[in-house]
Amino acid sequence: MIVTGTQQAFCAGAELEEITALTPDDTRAFTDLGQLVMHRIASMTKPVVAAVRGYCMGGGFDLALACHARIATTDAVFAHRGATLGLITGWGGTQRLPRLIGRAGAAEIFLTARHIPADEALRFGLIRAIAPPEQLLASAAAIARNLIPTRA
């Protein structure tokens, strides 16, 4: 399965006005639902690849991290902006990112909240490759095929 967004963004994150309007009970339900969705993606027996173009932020970043692999175009930008807002998503990204790229790199991304361009994401090990926009989906499909174990 390939998870992707539009030509402008993979997922720019939550609409903050909607988040701030949630009651405590609504907030818990929203968090629980997000955790369930991310867990189901991460637990799928078939490969799930995030094909990222444009912004991949906040909860969208958590979504990409729940996938088994990620590929991006040169215009992709990753960020977890919660530190600038006094919040952090509760969808598992804080657990998945350190396992993927190590504690030091994850701390840098979470605590600085800065934008991470695709070339730096590749160096961090956050993505597997950078693809031209016109080849993004085909490249994601190739990665997915390579994640399927061969039968003896």
Report the amino acid identity of residue 139. S
Position 150 pLDDT exceeds 60: no
Say if CB 92 and CB 110 are below 8 A apart: no
> What pLDDT is stored for residue 15 in this prediction?
79
Region 26-39: mean pLDDT is 92
Position 18 pLDDT exceeds 90: no
> What pLDDT is stored for residue 104 in this prediction?
95
Residue 75, judged by CB atoms within 10 A of its CB (0-12, 13-18, 19+), counts as: middle
> What pLDDT is stored for residue 35 in this prediction?
94
Query: How many other CB atoms are there within 10 angstroms of residue 122's CB atom?
Result: 18
**What does the block give as tokens for 119?**
């070339």
Sign of the torsion angle spanned by Cα atoms 120, 137, 69, 93? positive
Nearest to 62 by CA among 86, 92, 84, 42: 92
Question: 2-147 has which fold?
Answer: 2-enoyl-CoA Hydratase; Chain A, domain 1 (3.90.226)
> What pLDDT is stored for residue 78 in this prediction?
97
Provide the residue ranges of all domains of the chain, joining segments of one domain with +.
Answer: 2-147
What confidence tens digit (pLDDT) does each residue in 55-82 have? Answer: 999 999 999 999 999 999 999 999 998 8
What confidence tens digit (pLDDT) does each residue in 81-133 have? Answer: 888 887 777 799 999 999 999 999 999 999 999 999 999 999 999 999 999 99
